[in-house]
Amino acid sequence: MQAQNELTKEEKADGFVLIFDGKTTDGWRGFQKDHAPTKWLVEEGTLHFSPKAKGDGGDIMIDKKYSNFHLKMEWKIEEAGNSGILYLGSEDPKYRAIFMTAPEMQVLDNAAHPDAKLGTNGNRQAGSLYDLIPADPQNFNGAGEWNQAELIVKDKHVKHIQNGVVVVEYEYGTQMWDALVARSKFPGLNPDWTKLQEEGYIGLQDHGNNVWFRNIKIKEL
| DSSP symbol at 2 | P
How far is Cα of residue 182 from the mean position of the Cα atoms in its chain?
22
Residue 37 lies in a domain: no
Within a domain: 20: no
Mean pLDDT of 33-51: 98
Separation CA 100–CA 202 (nearest Å)? 13
Contact 149, 72 (CB under 8 A): yes
Sign of CA dihedral 66, 68, 74, 77: positive
Question: Would you say residue 1 has pLDDT above 80?
Answer: no
| pLDDT score of 23 | 97
* Residue in 89, 96, 92 with CA at minimum distance from that of residue 58: 96
User: Residue 196 falls within a domain, yes or no?
Assistant: yes
pLDDT of residue 184: 95
Q: Which long-range contacts (CB under 8 A, 24 or more apart) does 170-175 make?
A: 170/129, 170/132, 170/133, 172/103, 172/196
189, part of any domain: yes
> Does residue 1 form part of some domain?
no
In a domain, 180, yes or no: yes
Q: Which of 63, 66, 68, 78 is nearest to 28 (CA)?
A: 63
What residue numbers bound the domain in which 85 lies?
58-208
For 65-114, the pLDDT digits (tens) are: 999 999 999 999 999 999 999 999 999 999 999 999 999 999 999 999 99
Give the pLDDT mean for 37-52: 98
Q: Which helix (H) or strand (E) holds 213?
A: strand 211-220
* Total structural domains within the chain: 1
Helix (H) or strand (E) holding 10: helix 9-14
pTM above 0.95, yes or no: yes
The tens digit of pLDDT for each residue in 138-190 reads 999 999 999 999 999 999 999 999 999 999 999 999 999 999 999 999 999 99
User: Which CATH number do you get for residue 177?
Assistant: 2.60.120.560
